[in-house]
Amino acid sequence: MQMLASIFSPGVVITALEVGCIYALVALALFISYSTLNIADLSTDGCFTLGCAVCCQVTVTLSANPVLAPAAPVLALLAAMLTGVCSGFVTAFLQTKLGVESIMAGIVVNTGLYTINLAVMGFASQMSLLKIPTIYSGFEALLPKALGPFSGLILSALVAVAAGALITLFMGTRLGLSVRATGDNADMVRASSINPAFTITVGLCVSSALTALSGALLAQYQKGADINVGTGMVTIALASLIIGETLIGKGGMVRRVAGVILGSCIYRFAVAVALRFNLPAAALKLVSAVIVGVAIAMPAIQKRAEFHKRRAAARAAARTEAKGGVR
C-alpha cells in the first residue's frame, strides 16, 4: 500500500501530466508529418533541442534589457517557433527541390542542427535559466495561491489543448485538406492543380514549429537546456502517437488529436511509475525503450490476441458440433 501511495502520489501524477502535455506538442508534430503526410521526419530530435537552445539564449539575452525583460519568456517561445519553421523549411527543401529521400533529409538536418544548437548555446553543452523569470513563474504569479501548485499543469494543458484545437481547425481548411490529401495520394493532388511540394513544405514547417515550441516550453519548465535533451524524441513521440491511436482509435480529427495528447500523458505517467521502483537514473533510457517497444508492438499484439480468441472460439464450436453429431 505504501508503494502504491508513493507511485500515485499527487506530486508524481502532476509532474507526469505537466511533462506529458509539453511532449504532446511533439506528438502532434509527428501526427502531422508521419500520420498525415506519411513522412518520417528524423530531424525531430535536433529541432526539439533547437527550441530549447534558442529559448534559453533569447530569454537570457532579453532579460538583461529592462524594456524587453517582462516579455522575454513569450518572445523566446516565438523565436523558438520561428527557428523551428526554418528547420522544417530546410527539411522540406531537401525533399521537394533536391530530391533527397525523407529519411535522409531528416538525418542530414538533424546532424547539422547539432552544431547549430551548440553555436546557439555559445558552444557550451548546457545553459541555465535559474533566477531568470520564465513563462511558468509569470503564470503562477497571476493565479490565486490555492492554484499555485497546479500552475504548471494548467499552463501546459492550456498550450497543448490550444495547439490541438488550432491543428484541428487548420486541417479543416482548404490548405489543411490539401496537406491531408498529399499524404494520401500526391499524384491525385498534383492532378488537381495543387503543388505537393508546397503542401509538404507547409506541413513540415508547422510540424517543426510545434516541435521547437515543445522544446522551448521544456527549457522554461526545467529552467535550462542540454545539448542532448532531444535524443530519442522522435521515438517517444511515435510511442505517444501509437498509444493514443490504440486507446482512442481512429476517427474524426478531433478524436485523433485528443488521442495524441492523451497518449503522451499516459506515456509520461508510465515512465514516472517505472522510475518509482528505485531504479537508477541511468536506467531511464532502458525504461523508455521498453515502454516504446511495447507501445509500438501493441497493435500487433492486439491483432494476435484477437486471432487466437477467434481460433479458440472456432475450435470450441467445432468440438460442440462434433459431440452433437456423435449423439
Structure pTM?
0.89
pLDDT tens-place string over residues 33-78: 988 998 888 999 999 999 999 999 999 999 988 898 899 999 999 9
Q: What is the mean pLDDT of residues 169-196?
A: 88
Residues paired with residue 192 on neighbouring β-strands, in sequence order:
none
Residue 42 C-alpha from the chain's centroid = 13
Looking at the domain that runs over 2-278, which CATH code has it been given?
1.10.3470
Q: What is the mean pLDDT of residues 250-270?
A: 86
Distance (Å, whole) CA 165 – CA 27 = 14
Q: Which distant-in-sequence residues (6+ apart) come within 8 Å of 155 by Cβ?
A: 135, 136, 139
Q: Which of 261, 90, 234, 253 is nearest to 162 (CA)?
A: 261
The answer to whether 239 touches 295, Cβ cutoff 8 Å, is yes
The pLDDT of residue 321 is above 70: yes
The pLDDT of residue 153 is above 70: yes
pLDDT at position 327 is 53
Q: Which distant-in-sequence residues (6+ apart) come within 8 Å of 96 by Cβ?
A: 196, 197, 200, 201
Distance (Å, whole) CA 217 – CA 135 = 8
